[in-house]
Amino acid sequence: MRELMAVIKALADENRVRILFALQGRELCVCQIVELLGLAQSTVSKHLSILHQARLIDSRKEGRWMFYCTSDDDSPAEAREIAAVVARLLAANLEAGEDAKRLKQILKVDRDELCRKQNRC
């Protein structure tokens, strides 16, 4: 029950759902997620922490970069099922479509440049 409630809590915020949708089928660094959401890095980190605690996402560190992707193997079956339903529902959502377009542009920008722009380097 505790794991299920953590997943529900994690998905109860629009920005966390947007992060999950952006991570579908790809890995993103924190600076790319910050750029997509237009939020402070500390706010994005808090959202990522909640998603990680719910075992909806995985992370890895490479040098100074922190990367995130959706969690497949480690997450409970209920979490994967709920996340899949949310992803299907968002597929037709206008805002999710705008995020996808914006993310395409963000992925074309060098990570170092994004980092400098966000004053993280």
pLDDT tens-digit map of 51-87? 999 889 999 999 888 999 988 766 778 777 887 787 7
* For residue 116, pLDDT beyond 90: no
- Specify the pLDDT at position 79: 76
Question: Which domains, and CATH codes, for the chain?
Answer: 2-114 (1.10.10.10)
pLDDT at 88: 79
Closest to 50 in 3D by CA, of 96, 13, 87: 13
User: Could you give phi then psi for residue 46, rounded to 5 degrees?
Assistant: -65, -45
